[in-house]
Structure 1
Amino acid sequence: MTFLEKLDFLMKENDLNKKRLSDRAGIPYSTIDGFYKQGYANIKLSTFKKLCDYFGVTMDYLARDEIEKIEYYSPNKKDLYNPEEKELLEMYSQLNNSGREKILERGSELLELGYIEKGDAEKMA
């Protein structure tokens, strides 16, 4: 999958068009539109980082055509998600809206039942 195919996929998954992506990611609309009209071979590193940070994906995922499975990360954490978190995010990304709603409902139920990490229980009290 190419950079533009991945960008289209990520925008669709996040219900974004070029204008909304521009506003939310802090990238000029003309830059995003230019990827489609003039290509992206000379994308600035700062722009590329903003896209990766906004979508929470690795730079490798977005840059390398041979990587097709989404690699998530949190820009506020130095480490990638652990394997269990990655698996959950991958499953979530494959679900339709109804499936995603069910996952969120079940997650809320588990929290209400007390399935909380020990350190987090004190924060919630």
Structure 2
Amino acid sequence: MRLTTLTLAAVASIGLSACVTVPTVPGTSPAPQGAVSLQQRLSGAQLINNDEQHRLLPGGQVAGRIFFGPSERDFSPVNGTWSVNGNTFCFGVEVSEPFCGPAEISGNRLIHYSDGGTMTWVIE
């Protein structure tokens, strides 16, 4: 079986992007680039939105805080789960079922469409 590798290489010293390697096997389709990028970009990231701050831990767990007052000390700790399947992002804290829907990353923002609404998170 022949393995083909597409390699996009660059030299950091002249300001180009880092290397990206996407292996493919003839007769199969590689994982969609968006799915790989979404999963990789979000694993370990912190999401911030209004009065919420959550760390997306590897393995699908969420550790976070929901703020209920003006002080940094006015928060309630929360736990939950997250996952990515293709471009579908599922996220839930302290709920029985996570909210799932299409997601996209634009710069340092995660835009998550679910249940007829849109959530925009800052990714740190």
TM above 0.5, yes or no, is no
Greater share of strand:
2
TM range (shorter): under 0.3
Q: TM-score, normalised by structure 1?
A: 0.27
Higher relative contact order (CA 8 A, sep 6+): 1
